[in-house]
Every structure is written in C-alpha cells, then in structure tokens.
C-alpha cells in the first residue's frame, strides 16, 4: 500500500546504501511482537491502516506498528539493520533497491513460504519474478502501479480537446492546449527529482517499445541503439516546446500541489503520472476542495508505428521482505501473507483510502456498490493487460536508474545530447548487468497471473 513514489538513494546513492548495510554484523531484533515500521501521508491513513491491517490481524504473533516519516524511514531502516537491529519486516521502494539488502544478507529466503501460502497462484507471475534475487524469492510486492493520462472532463469539453490515443493526437492535444493559453501537461519535479523517470519510462515504453526495452535489459540491445536515442530526443523536444509544466524552467520549480491545482482549475489540460495519484488528487477536486471539478484517467498513447496502441507500464511501488535475523521469521512471513493476499481487507482499503494494492487478482465483485468507478476500472483492467511495459524503478538496476534521473535534466537544458546520455546509461548498465544486479523482467507478453 505504497502512498507515493519515492527514492531512498538520492542522499547517499546506491554505493552509500550498500556501505551502510554491510558496515556491521547483525544480531537480530528484540521483542516478542513483530515490529513493523511504516509511513503515512496523513493521520486518516495511519488510523485506517492500524485498525484494519494491524489491530484486526489475528495471526500467531501480534504486530507492533511504529510510524516513521516517509523522508527518513529508509535511512533509519538501513542504519538499524547495520547495527544488528531493525524491524521484522523490511520495507523497500521496489526491486531496483532490493539487491543491496539481499547482498548484505538481511533478507530471509521466502521461497518455502511461497509454496505454503500458494503465492504463485495469487500473485501476477511477473511480480514474483521481479521479486527474486539469484533465483530466491526475497520480497513480496506490497503495491503496484502503472502510468496514466489524467484529465478534467469538463475542461476537455469546454476547450474542445480530445483525450489522445495516438502520437498525432497527443501532439495535436498539446499544440491546441498551448494555443488556447493553457499548460498542455501539468508537471514538476521541485518536490522530487525522481519525477523525471516517470516521463522517461513513458518515452521508452511508448516510443522504443517493450520488446526493445526487454532486449536491452537482457543485454542483447545496447542502450545506445537509435530507438532509445530517438525516444530521449522526442521527450526532450516536448519539454522544450513548453508542453510539460509550461517549460523547462518552470518544470524544475513546480511543486506537486501546484501541479494538482493546475489540473483541477483548468490551467493545465492534462497530466501524465502514475496511478498513485488517485489518492493525491482527491483533495483538489469536488467537495474536498469546495469546487465542482472532477478528474478521470485514460491509458497513454503509443508514439511509434509498430508499438501496441495500449501499453501498461508496470511497476512495483513497494517491496517488503522479512528480516533474516528476526526472532520469528515464520510469523513475519505469516503477517506478510496477510498484508498482501487478504482480498477482502485489501479491496476495502482501496475503496476507503485509495491504497495501492499488491499485484493480485481483483474483480468487480470484490468491491461494494459505493466503490469509485475509476478505481475499480483500474484494478480490474490492469490484471488483464495484453501488453506490459517496464518502469525504470522496478526493472532497472540502482546506479543506472539514479543516473537516468539525475542526468536527464542536463538533456532538458541542452548540456548533454541524447546520444551521450544514452551512452552513460549503457556504461552503467553494462557494469550492473555483469555484476548480476539487474532485476528479473518478464517477457513482453500479456500479464499472466
């Protein structure tokens, strides 16, 4: 139930994480309860989670919830583990960050629990494969997500715009919106530089295409291939035309609240972001904001001939493992199973709080008649996806991902060419591939469960 996308490594980098995790030997964590560290964006989410996912849990060992700040939980976890302490369950931002924890010996092998709890039948196959390191299942995906096109239907109708389904329609949409004095796409990274990779993920999957990315992730196609260079150049050209955030300079200074307000007010015609925005948008629309504005979402268009018209960019927003030195690993695995497979509790949390679910099968019947149609549509359509794409934060290794985020800004400001940028990706990726640090990616076919 990841609340927002975040990256733990900007402060110290991937090398810093590995150094922390291997600095000391582990002595295990104390206490009879299962210690679970988590974070929340507000008090309502915390209260709901504690009641339904902690207090209502009837497992063999009670759970003790310790609330941390979303800004510090990862660093506190890393430091505690290095000191031989830490929670029984280890929360990470996703597969690209898991290798360092596993390499330091902090994650228990969950393979036998997959058989016990029949996880292979309950989780999407791609998600479990992406959760393995050296063939061992070391985490479970506790939330998943995709990218989407957001819009205000009333604004679209008023300005006679069309939600784009092709590259031509997308470019027409942005051109027409700008001509009407609007910001075509609300966007900004002032609050979090990692927003850069959301747009790179879309450019790679919807222009280069899933097959090209999969080939590159296997080391068969270099990231310097023309299809990737073209994708970066295309995305940069859209930014430089002022389509994202109103321009490169304002993109760097726009904060998320401003972005959401622009979408709600009609100052912006649309927004490209992840499905985690369902909860973030709520305060800016309708009764919560004291206005009549509504939002909706659509799948993103593909930008190159030969790419399927609908590509779902799949990502694991959060992975949770069990501390190998926890006093009761089996009890921790039992609670992790509850967190990720209790369909009734999970569906209710989506409906009530817009929590993001694990990648398990959900149907319309799992929700009540009061559920938000936009939410049920997402989580019943997503498991049926025919073509999957690869988010950078799930399927790309740490150093490559961090480079892509940080150095893309130089491409936007024309300090670095797309060709040289892709060469930098290839340089780092080749080293991480050789070191066995690339997360497992499924073949680019339909999403199987």
DSSP string, 190-241: SS-TTHHHHHHHHHIIIII-HHHHHHHHTTSS-TTSHHHHHHHHHHHHHHHT
Q: 159 by DSSP, 3-state: which? A: coil
Is there a single domain that holds both residue 168 and residue 211? yes
Query: Average of pLDDT values for 411-423?
Result: 98
Q: Tell me the pLDDT tens digit for each residue of 103-125.
A: 899 999 999 999 999 999 999 88
Q: Do residue 171 and residue 84 come from a single domain?
A: no
Q: Quick one: pLDDT at residue 29?
A: 40
Phi and psi for 270 in degrees, rounded to 5?
-160, -175
- Written as one string, the DSSP assignment of 326-360 is -TTHHHHHHHHHHHHH-HHHHHHHHHHH-PPPPSB
Of 385, 408, 425, the one marking the end of a domain is 385
- Residue 410, domain member (yes or no): no
- How many domains, in total, are found in the chain? 2
Task: Please indicate, yes or no, whether residues 263 and 151 belong to a single structural domain of this protein.
Answer: yes
If asked whether residues 226 and 242 sit together in one domain, one would say: yes
In this structure, are 303 and 345 located in the same domain? no
Same domain, 321 and 284: no
- On whether both 212 and 177 belong to a single domain, the answer is yes
| CA-wise closest residue to 441 among 121, 126, 222 | 126
Q: Which of 262, 278, 313 is the last residue in one of the domains?
A: 313
Query: In the listed set 385, 407, 430, which residue is the last one of a domain according to the structure?
Result: 385
For residues 130 and 152, membership in a common domain is answered with no
In a domain, 394, yes or no: no
Q: What is the pLDDT of residues 159-173, one digit of tens each?
A: 999 999 999 999 999
Q: Are residues 196 and 104 in the same domain?
A: no
> Does residue 350 lie in a domain region?
yes
Domain that holds residue 41: 13-145+314-385
Domain assignment present for residue 449? The answer is no
Q: Are 159 and 307 within one domain?
A: yes
Would residue 2 count as lying in a domain? no
What number of H helices and E strands is found in the chain? Answer: 21, 12
Confidence grade of residue 70 (pLDDT, cut at 50, 70, 90): confident
Residue 286 domain flag: yes
Q: Give the pLDDT mean for 122-140.
A: 91
Given pLDDT bands bounded at 50, 70 and 90, which one contains residue 449? Answer: very low
Tell me whether residue 419 is in a domain.
no
In this structure, what are the phi and psi dihedrals at residue 136, rounded to the nearest 5 degrees? -105, 135
CA distance 240 to 249: 10
Give the CATH number for residue 80. Answer: 3.40.190.10
Across the range 7-12, mean pLDDT stands at 35
Residue 430 resides in a domain: no
Spell out the long-range contacts of 399-404 with Cβ–Cβ below 8 A and sequence spacing 24 or more.
399/13, 399/14, 399/15, 399/428, 399/431, 399/432, 400/425, 400/428, 400/429, 400/432, 401/96, 401/197, 402/7, 402/9, 402/10, 402/13, 402/14, 403/428, 404/196, 404/197, 404/200
Is-contact 388 447, C-beta < 8 A? Answer: yes
393, 96 contact by CB (below 8 A): yes
- What pLDDT band is residue 20 in, cutting at 50, 70 and 90? very low
* One domain, residues 328 and 378: yes
Tens of pLDDT along 290-309? 999 999 999 999 999 999 99
Burial class (CB in 10 A: 0-12, 13-18, 19+), 449: middle
Alpha carbon separation from 39 to 2, 77, 107, 155 (Å, rounded): 9, 12, 20, 35
Q: In this predicted model, what pLDDT tens digit does every residue of 167-193 receive, in sequence order?
A: 999 999 999 999 999 999 999 999 999
pLDDT on residue 445: 64
């Amino acid at each position: 139930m990841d609340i927002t996308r975040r990256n733990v490594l900007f402060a110290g980098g991937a090398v810093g994480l590995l150094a922390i995790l291997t600095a000391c030997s582990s002595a295990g964590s104390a206490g009879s309860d299962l210690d679970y560290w988590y974070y929340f964006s507000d008090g309502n989410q915390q209260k709901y989670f504690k009641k339904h996912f902690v207090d209502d849990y009837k497992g063999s060992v009670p759970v003790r919830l310790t609330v941390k700040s979303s800004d510090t939980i990862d660093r506190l976890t890393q430091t505690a583990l290095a000191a031989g302490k830490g929670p029984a369950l280890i929360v990470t931002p996703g597969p690209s960050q898991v290798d360092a924890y596993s390499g330091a010996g902090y994650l228990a092998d969950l393979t036998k629990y997959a058989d016990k709890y029949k996880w292979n039948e309950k989780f999407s196959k791609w998600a479990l494969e992406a959760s393995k390191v050296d063939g061992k299942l070391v985490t479970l995906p506790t939330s998943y997500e995709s990218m989407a096109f957001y819009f205000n239907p009333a604004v679209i109708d008023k300005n006679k715009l069309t939600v784009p389904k092709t590259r031509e329609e997308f470019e027409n949409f942005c051109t027409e919106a700008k001509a009407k004095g609007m910001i075509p796409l609300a966007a900004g990274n002032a609050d979090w530089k990692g927003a850069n990779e959301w747009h790179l993920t879309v450019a790679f999957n919807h222009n280069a295409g899933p097959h090209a990315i999969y080939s590159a992730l296997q080391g068969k196609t270099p990231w310097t291939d023309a299809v990737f260079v073209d994708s970066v150049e295309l995305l940069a050209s859209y930014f430089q035309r002022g389509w994202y955030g109103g321009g490169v300079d304002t993109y760097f200074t726009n904060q998320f609240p401003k972005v959401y307000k622009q979408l709600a007010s009609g100052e912006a015609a649309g927004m490209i972001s992840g499905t985690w925005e369902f909860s973030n948008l709520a305060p800016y629309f309708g009764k919560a904001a004291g206005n009549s504005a509504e939002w909706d979402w659509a799948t993103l268009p593909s930008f190159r001939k030969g790419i399927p018209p609908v590509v779902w960019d799949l990502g694991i927003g959060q992975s949770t493992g069990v501390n190998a030195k926890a006093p009761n690993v089996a009890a921790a695995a039992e609670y992790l199973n509850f967190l990720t497979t209790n369909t009734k509790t999970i569906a209710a949390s989506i409906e009530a709080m817009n929590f993001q679910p694990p990648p398990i099968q959900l149907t319309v019947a799992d929700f009540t008649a009061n559920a938000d149609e936009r939410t049920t549509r997402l989580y019943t359509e997503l498991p049926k996806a025919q073509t999957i794409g690869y988010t950078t934060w799930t399927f790309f290794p740490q150093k490559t991902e961090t480079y892509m985020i940080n150095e893309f800004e130089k491409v936007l400001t024309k300090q670095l060419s797309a060709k040289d940028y892709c060469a930098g990706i290839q340089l780092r990726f080749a080293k991480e591939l050789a070191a066995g640090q690339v997360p497992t990616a499924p073949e680019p076919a339909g999403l199987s469960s």
